[in-house]
Amino acid sequence: MSKILLDIQDLRLSFFTPAGEVKALNDVSIRMNEGDVLGIVGESGSGKSVTAYSIMGLTAHPGRIIGGTIDFNGHRIDRMTEKEMRKIRGNEVSIIFQDPMTSLNPVYTIGDQIREVLFLHTNLDKKQAQHRATELLKLVGLNDPEKRLKQYPHELSGGMRQRVMIAIALACEPKLLIADEPTTALDVTIQAQIMELMIELKKKLNMSIIMITHDLGIVASMCRKIVVMYAGKVVEKGTVEEIFYNPKHEYTKGLLKSIPKLNATEREKLVPIPGTPVDMLNPPPGCPFAPRCEKCMKICIRSMPEFTQISDTHASACWLLQKEAAQALKGGNSIGK
């Protein structure tokens, strides 16, 4: 197997707001290998973006990591100073944000903004940087790169701007690229184009990617492994096949039921998950999904289930699995007797 690139262990992160401590991440553990494409799915507020930002050391005020470790490419991110982090950001790990319309500085040209990251992390001179910037724009499929470099962000469309953001992210050939819902703010046709570009770049550059999204379609087309998050917790993780064909957690099942299928043979209904997420200011002691879960049991309300390992790669945190396991074990025992 290939080398472990990122290892997040029991990460806990809270936002200390005037209203109280918001526990945004609770014991999040994620591991990925070099060359992996990992999808993190979950609804808004589930902590998927917060997890990604913490890998960049970009936890926004008033958020703070209060426990756990982040190990990236041999760096202990959670222990690094801001100054050390700056050498890694945009260099070894870079990020593409959700909204390309607002992620580029409106008063600088595209060229300025690409060259900026090159000057920060490489020793290229002006001419070389210009050359590299042109190359990058070609790489992300923008025509007429020399002209684009002189343009301002507002002169480009949303899709083009996202391509520029990707170019900036790829400028220093990072080990890991984090894509934080890179297509959510774009039109459907543009979404497809950007996804195609990402898949193509992945093949070309063989880098590791974390794809954060609530769109399971994107995950299916691109990722090999999936982490499902709910209310600041990882509830299930596994390979694409395992998650799609053998979901174990009730939330994952709900998610899969709520996406439309094109090739549905009979008239299938889309089933939304009823209810709203729990209040993160006062998180309940039990499973956060319990209030919305159809199969909620008494124990779910009282305590958080441990992970049940279904296969080497597949694990899910649900009391139902514990129950099944216990029953299987008891059955086994009775047979033995």
Partner 1 sequence: MEKKNNFSFQLDVTDFLPADESEKQSMVIMRESTSFWKDGYRRLKRNKLAMISFVVIVIVLIMAFIVPSFYPYSYEQQIRGSENLGVMEYSKEEIARMEAGEKVFPHLLGTDSLGRDITIRLLMGSRISLLVGIVASVIILVIGSIYGSIAGYFGGKVDMIMMRAVDIIYTVPDILIIILLSVTLKYPLRDLAEKVPGFQWIETVGVGLISIFIVFSLLYWVGMSRIVRSQILTLKEQEYVVAAKALGASSSRIIRKHLLTNSIGILIVTTTLQIPASIFTESFLSFLGLGVSAPMPSLGSMASQAIGGINSYPLRLLAPAAMISLIILSFNLLGDGLRDAFDPKLKN
Partner 2 sequence: MGAYAIKRIASAAVTLFVVATLTFFLMFLVPGGPFLSEKATTPQTLKALEQKYGLDQPVGVQYVNYMKRIVMGDLGTSLKMRGQEVNDIIGQRFPVSARLGAIAVLIAIAVGIPLGSVAALNRGKWLDNIIMFIATTGIAVPSFVVATTLMFTFGVKLHILPTYGLSSPMHYVLPVMALAFYPTAYISRLMRSSMLDVLGQDYMRTARAKGISQFKSLFKHALRNAVLPVITYMGPMLAYILTGSFVVEKIFTIPGLGSQFISSITDRDYPLIMGTTIFLAFLLITMNVIVDIAYKIIDPRIKLK
Nearest to 182 by CA among 203, 198, 171: 198
C-alpha–C-alpha distance, residues 247 and 240, integer Å: 10
In 3D, which of 247, 230, 238, 277 has the Cα closest to residue 26? 230
320 C-beta neighbours (distance < 10 Å), count:
18
Candidate residues 17, 187, 282, 331; the one interacting with partner 1 per rule CB under 8 A: 282
- Contact positions toward partner 2, by CB under 8 A? 56, 58, 82-83, 85-91, 94-95, 97, 99, 102-108, 116-117, 120-121, 152, 154-155, 165, 168
> What minimum distance in Å lies between the beta carbon of 279 and partner 1?
5
3-state secondary structure of 126: helix
Q: Which stretch binds partner 1 (CB under 8 A): 48-56, 80-88, 149-157, 308-316?
A: 308-316
Closest CA to 192 of 211, 229, 217: 217
Q: Are 46 and 25 in contact (CB under 8 A)?
A: no
Q: Which helix (H) or strand (E) holds 255?
A: helix 250-257
Size of the site for partner 1 (CB under 8 A): 30
37 with 222: CB under 8 angstroms?
yes
Cβ 29 vs Cβ 8: under 8 Å: yes
Find how far residue 177's CA is from the centre of its chain: 10
> Among residues 89 and 248, whose Cβ is nearest to partner 2?
89
- In the bound state with partner 2, the residue whose beta carbon lies nearer, of 91 and 130, is 91
User: What DSSP character marks residue 10?
Assistant: E
Q: Which of 286, 314, 316, 318 binds partner 1 (CB under 8 A)?
A: 286
Contact partner at residue 267 from partner 1, partner 2, none, CB < 5 to 8 Å by partner kind? none
* Residue 20 interacts with partner 1 (CB under 8 A): yes or no: no
Is residue 313 part of the contact set for partner 1 (CB under 8 A)? no
Residues 23-62 interacting with partner 1 (rule: CB under 8 A): none
- Measured from the CB atom, the residue of 82 and 294 that comes closer to partner 2 is 82
For residue 199, state whether it binds partner 1 (rule: CB under 8 A): no
Q: Exactly one of 118, 308, 314, 316 binds partner 1 (CB under 8 A); which one?
A: 308
In which order are the strands placed within the sheet that holds 20-33? 20-33, 4-17, 63-72, 75-76
- Give me the least distance between CB of 17 and partner 2, in Å please: 13
- 259 is an interface residue for partner 1 by CB under 8 A: no
Q: Is 141 in the site for partner 1 (CB under 8 A)?
A: no
With contacts defined by CB under 8 A, name the span among 71-79, 175-183, 196-204, 292-300 that binds partner 1.
292-300
Distance, CA of 72 to CA of 96 (rounded, Å): 18
In the complex, the smallest distance separating the C-beta of residue 85 from partner 2, rounded to whole angstroms, is 8
Residue 131 has phi, psi (to 5 degrees) of: -65, -45
**Interacting residues toward partner 1 by CB under 8 A:** 275-276, 278-279, 282, 284, 286, 290-291, 293, 295-302, 306-310, 319, 322-323, 325-326, 328-329
